[in-house]
Chains A and B, each alone.
Chain A
Amino acid sequence: MSAQPSALMARSHGLRRRRAVNRGMEWMAWLAALIAVAILGVVVWSVARRGASELNLNLLTKSPVPFAPPNVTQGLANAFAGTLVIVGLATAMALPIGILVALYLNEFAPPSIKNGVSLTLDVLNGIPAVVIGIFVFGLLVVGHGQSGMAGAFALAVLMLPLVSRSTMEVLALVPNSLREASLGLGVPRWRTTLSIVLPQTLGGIVTGTVLAVARVAGETAPLLFTSSIVANATSWNPGHALQTVPVAIFELSESPDPADHARAWAAALVLLLFIMFASLGARWLATRTRRKLGAAR
């Protein structure tokens, strides 16, 4: 570090040129931020403009009709039902396990295990969704056929690291004095964790879960192999393959028919609205939890 300022001084000749370079770079940084915001604006605007005209109750209540004549109104009822079932099941699988993993790592595990397992969780989080899809395909689909259950399991694998990592983050914010006070009163470790530590983190766990749900509700790749060969009738039975909103968008986007594109845009708008509200809501909740835990310290 000590050598650098002098190296800088040696390079610095011509104040005007240096100022010009500085200004140029500052403009570039402004431009880069502007580009990112503009991209978001353009994508959201495209989806909103194209999706809004097609957005009506039929989308949610009517089933798709293969080779439909133009006067038949179609919807994606099967996809919305399937997404509800599959994401619901995935949450039911990932949430308890995720929280237990986080509790174990943060409250009970020795540091070496804690570091090792959280590294594993982070790496699991980085594995491409399509690979998870193939993995579950090999595990559950080969020999048994596709099912909503298999799809839910694939999404649960994606959710697990998200839920445990966010739970661990809030657990780390719970003040140690609370734990010590409880233990000092002779309350056993498990009781302390369950009735003192866990209630403090409720807000954070909800935030993490909402974010994880928002993330997996839009996932397509893990479902292509596990729950994509589907009927057009609406079904709530996870024993069969169920259509989902992302898979429906994926298939409709590859169709040559503009009417299919219109439905894809409308479904994309519903999905996008859900995800944005969920993430904004979760963000608001997160700042509240953080403030509360910060104040308790």
Chain B
Amino acid sequence: MIDGARPSISKFGLGFLAHDVWNPVLNQFGAASFLFGTALTSLVALALAAPLSMGIALFLTELAPKWIQAPVTALVETLAAIPSVVIGLWGILVLGPVLRNDIEPGLHSALGWIPLFGQPQTGSNMFTAVIVLTIMILPIVSSISRELFLGVPNELKEGALGLGVTRWEMVRGVMFPYARGGVAAAMILGLGRAVGEAIAVTQVIGGFVGIQWNLFNAGDTLASRIAAEYQGAVSNLQVASLIYLALILLVFSLIVNIVAQVIVRRVARKQGLTR
């Protein structure tokens, strides 16, 4: 892959990362606007998915009656099995218009002073991409967290409850500290998934080169730009630049996954010892 990206690397060097122009006509390519779009959409998606998946995991381990646990766990995992192209299809044809017409104007008038919630522009925008990404990382983060919460020793939980704390105080004081490292790894894995998701994001994000904070405007991520230009690349330099984008993505996902997996392994070993 380094070989394929070589024309682009030798022409733009590391400045590629800071350059926010992507113009096939002038043969000017830079990754900055896609890096920005990737960071913005994935982080907002993670911020939405994190509390939701904690809630799901706690529900499944602590609250749900026995007969609900198995089916809901299966349903959450089925959500992960839906292909991204189908979620994208739903996102562009169903979710996008609903958000554009019913949700975004309300958010804009209520929270318009935050730059993220600017004037709603098109139906295909970064906000739709954020929601789609949230849906896609929700099952991963919640199923890993569920397993971590199941690993919390019962003696610790019962000990806390026996001291007269409420269930939530037990969760916050005993379960969260116990599972902290693993939950962090789950979040990192979720982030990695969000960053690498290409198809569904390409379908809903609209495509826009440039750095701007308004979530209700079109944007682009590293992965979505690669997928969007799969057939349209005209020059060798453009192909090389796309491969360069993929290379950035590869390096990022390698780091994210290695870090997360090492944490997961360490947590598993620790739990194996205490059991």
Contact = CB atoms under 8 A, between A and B. Distances in A.
Contacts of B88: 250, 253
Interface stretch (B104-112, B188-196, B209-217): B188-196
A271 to B, nearest CB: 6
Contact of B173 (A7, A29, A122): A7
B250 A131 contact: yes
22 contacts: A4-B177, A22-B167, A22-B169, A29-B58, A32-B59, A39-B135, A43-B79, A123-B254, A126-B261, A128-B196, A128-B249, A128-B250, A129-B196, A130-B198, A134-B242, A138-B3, A228-B230, A228-B231, A229-B231, A246-B83, A250-B199, A271-B83
B55 A4 contact: no
Interface stretch (A95-103, A167-175, A184-192, A216-224): A216-224
Contacts of A39: 79, 135, 138
A66 B59 CA distance: 50
Contacts of B82: 40, 43, 218, 272, 275
A275 B86 CA distance: 11
Interface in B45-88: 51-56, 58-60, 62-64, 72, 74-79, 81-88
A43 B258 CA distance: 33
Contacts of A228: 230-231
Interface of A: 1, 4-5, 7-9, 11-12, 18-19, 21-22, 25-26, 28-33, 35-37, 39-40, 43, 46-47, 119, 122-123, 126-131, 134-135, 137-138, 142, 214-215, 217-221, 224-225, 228-229, 246, 249-250, 253-254, 261, 264-265, 268, 271-272, 275-276, 279-280, 283
Contact of B93 (A137, A229, A253): A253
A246 B262 CA distance: 33
Contact of A126 (B76, B177, B256): B256
B246 A134 contact: yes
B1 A4 contact: no
Nearest to A219: B83
Contacts of A253: 85, 88-89, 92-93, 203
Contacts, number: 220
A8 B59 contact: no
Contacts of A215: 81
A130 B142 CA distance: 24
Given A8-B173, A12-B169, A272-B86, A122 B230 contact: no
B271 interface: no
Contacts of B59: 29-30, 32-33
A135 B56 CA distance: 36
Contacts of B28: none
B148 interface: no
Per DSSP, chain A at the interface is helix
Given A126-B256, A224-B230, A8 B51 contact: no
A11 B253 CA distance: 41
A184 to B, nearest CB: 29
Contacts of A137: 4, 243
A18 B166 contact: yes
Contacts of A129: 196, 198
B199 A9 contact: no
B80 to A, nearest CB: 9
Contacts of B199: 130, 220-221, 246, 250
B261 A123 contact: yes
- The bracket for how many chain B residues form the interface is 35 or more
B90 A47 contact: yes
B14 interface: no
Nearest to A21: B168
B160 interface: yes
Given A39-B138, A128-B197, A250-B85, 17 more contacts: A1-B177, A8-B165, A19-B166, A21-B168, A25-B171, A33-B56, A37-B75, A37-B76, A40-B82, A119-B262, A127-B196, A135-B250, A218-B84, A220-B85, A224-B230, A249-B89, A272-B82
Contacts of B163: 5, 8-9
A170 B227 CA distance: 36
B35 interface: no
A297 to B, nearest CB: 18
A128 B242 CA distance: 15
B223 interface: yes
Given A5-B159, A33-B60, A43-B82, A134 B226 contact: yes
B85 A126 contact: no
A220 B84 contact: yes
B264 to A, nearest CB: 8
B156 interface: yes
B78 A36 contact: no
B234 interface: no
A292 to B, nearest CB: 20
B143 to A, nearest CB: 11
B114 interface: no
A134 B243 contact: yes
Interface string B241-275: 01100100110011011101110010000000000
